[in-house]
Chains A and B, each alone.
Chain A
Amino acid sequence: MNFNQIVTVYLKELRDALRDRRTLVSMFIVPTLVIPIIILGFGVVTAKIIRKARAETPGVMLLGAKDSPEIRAALAAHPRIRIVPARDDFRTLISNKSLRAAVELPDDFDAALLESRPSTVRLYTYDGEIKSGFATGELDRFFRDYREKAIQARLSERGLPAALVRPYEITRQNVAPPEKVGGNLVGGFIPYVIILLCFTGAMYPAMDLTAGEKERGTLETLLCSPVGRTEIVLGKFLVVLTSALSTVVLAGISAMATFPLGALLFAPEAGPARAVGSAAVAAARSPMPQIDPLGFLASLAMVAPIAVLFAAGLLALSLFAKSYKEAQSYVSPLIVVIILPALSAMLPGVELNLQLSLIPILNVSLVCKELVSGIFHWGHLSLIFASSCVYAAIALALAVRMFNRETVLFRT
């Protein structure tokens, strides 16, 4: 093997590629912009939804409580809800979202409270809808507070200490690092975007440097020179790899820059967290992912052998084609093959095990999900890295073999 020739081919192909607008776009512009657009776009949309939901004073229907002026007055005085007149079709109104929630009280609610008779407060809500969730949350809190006050009143009437009904307080504290919470949601997503970008970054130059060169007739010119075919394919491979890795690095840098920027722009609004009970809304409270920086860097490193796999595999495949168009028809369906394993890593409950560690791409997507959450399973990591390297080596060997076959180079 002649390293001088490999370097000569590499430098020429790199210069050539950098003069091509399509390569520049797929190599630099797309990876730099995609992640900020996705993350900030996601942040803008969720922040907007939340702000709108908060800004609105939700309309809430009060049913019953006909002979209970006191609770009526207390509800009407509550600043964060707006009481609307009772109607029989409240269920329909909530379903079609023209009403956020409804509360049903017995007519003699005030009296029952005074006389210590048990009664029921029934809340009507649209489960999983943010605005309905906010309204119901307000009602829920209001009636808990109201009940608390009633208890306090009864106790002091009888000269009893408050601790009689509250022998102890329960407090709750989150010990999971914030990365873990954010990581599970966004963690599966960011590495998947990076794997996809890595593929598209390798795709264009791979097709251009093989099928494209065949079509333009420059490959034959190159083959006429004394440079060996193995040297040519390695030089070309290194260019495709450069492009793939540059997308990974650029996407990584822009992601790292986007997280703190987004956190700054969409800082969670002050005030107590609202109990809404929907995971989506809980995540939306802080729309920016909290990602373990070291884990994120490690996940980029895990993608590196995948870049080799993509570069070599795409080179081998598109070399087989006679024209750029034909190469596209081979390569485009592959995007689905890449998306599927990467996507299935995002499914909740898909966790890494020994078998999955050996499935290319899926294994890296899964381990990246752990990494961005700050979890380092060294056994998994080394197994996955090693198996990715093996797949990459096989693909590279295949590309070299293809390039040494004249039936592939001179297909008619």
Chain B
Amino acid sequence: MIVAQGLTKSFHDKKRGQIMAVQDVSFTCHPGRIYGLLGANGAGKTTTLRMLATLLKPTHGTATVAGLSVTERPAEVRAQVGFLAASTALYARLTARETLAYFGRLNGLPAAEVAARTQRLADDLEMHEFLDRRVDKFSTGMKQKTSIARTLIHDPAVIIFDEPTLGLDVMAARTILRFVRDCKARGKTVIYSTHIMSEVEKLCDTIGIIHGGRLLAEGSLADLRARYAETDMEEIFIKAIGEKEAA
């Protein structure tokens, strides 16, 4: 469960001055459901998700993740969160097994538990063949699987995806999407950000449209179709942000 309440984040930039990256964003994500955050580049998706993962501190507002406040108990929040983004890379000089062991240990798991989970994840993701090879020798697909395993090693209740398919080919992207659905099936709370309309259409139970740091519309695909009298997600998106711009 994720509950965001009035999340706001401003940055100071030498050239651009004060940047309101996220303004007063509130939403709720439920276990066993996928919340899609749809927005163009610079909309504020990454900033929002980083606040949920406690990488950034909100300027105003707060959020709870698995019942824990992101501002008051950040380390415990991170222990409940798996964070996978296009920008979260793997250590090139470690093997897949060493990577999982490292993140397992950082999460406080005993060595035996780490080994057992590594075994299970390698079974699920078909990683045995390259488990003891160094990441810098991996194909994109192998890296993807290792990243997924890294996200899951501590069995988090909440999984945050920030444009995880960015820069991936079709096959690698499909692996990711299948994995996102798996998480949902296992009752995890999933939040998924993207700028790709078709992904939210296929994947998400609830869609939040974010633009200029503000959450402009929210609802299931059916809700949004009804509200904007459009079936195509792209048209819905344009109408949602156009409505705001006109106002």
Chain A residues packing against B (C-beta within 8 Å): 4-5, 8-9, 12, 15-16, 19-20, 216-218, 220-228, 406-407, 409-410, 412
Contacts and interface: CB of A to CB of B under 8 A. Distances in A.
Contacts of B87: 217, 220
B57 interface: yes
A16 B79 CA distance: 24
**Most chain A beta carbons < 10 A, residue from B79, B93, B94, B105:** B105
Interface string B49-80: 01001011100000000000000000110110
Contacts of B11: 407, 412
Given A5-B106, A8-B106, A410-B55, A224 B89 contact: no
Interface residues of chain B: helix, strand, loop or mixed (majority): mixed
Interface in B72-99: 75-76, 78-79, 81, 83, 85, 87-94, 98
**Most chain B beta carbons < 10 A, residue from A4, A16, A225:** A225
Interface residues of chain A: helix, strand, loop or mixed (majority): helix
A225 B99 CA distance: 12
Nearest to A228: B75
Interface string B167-192: 00000000000000000000000000
Nearest to B56: A406
Contacts of B90: 218, 221
B80 to A, nearest CB: 9
Contact of A410 (B56, B89, B92): B56
B106 A406 contact: no
B107 interface: yes
A220 B162 CA distance: 12
B106 A227 contact: yes
B118 to A, nearest CB: 15
Contacts of B50: 410
Contact of A224 (B76, B78, B91, B93): B78
Nearest to A20: B93
Given A226-B76, A412-B11, 8 more contacts: A12-B91, A15-B94, A217-B88, A223-B55, A225-B103, A226-B78, A227-B106, A412-B13
Nearest to B151: A224
B150 interface: yes
Contact of A221 (B57, B79, B88, B108): B88
22 contacts: A4-B108, A8-B106, A9-B106, A12-B91, A12-B94, A12-B102, A16-B91, A216-B92, A220-B55, A220-B87, A220-B89, A221-B83, A221-B89, A224-B55, A224-B88, A225-B106, A225-B107, A406-B55, A407-B12, A409-B55, A410-B50, A412-B13
B55 to A, nearest CB: 5
**Most chain B beta carbons < 10 A, residue from A4, A221, A407:** A221
Contacts of A220: 55, 85, 87-89
Closest 7 interchain pairs by CB? A217-B89, A224-B83, A226-B79, A225-B106, A19-B93, A221-B88, A226-B78
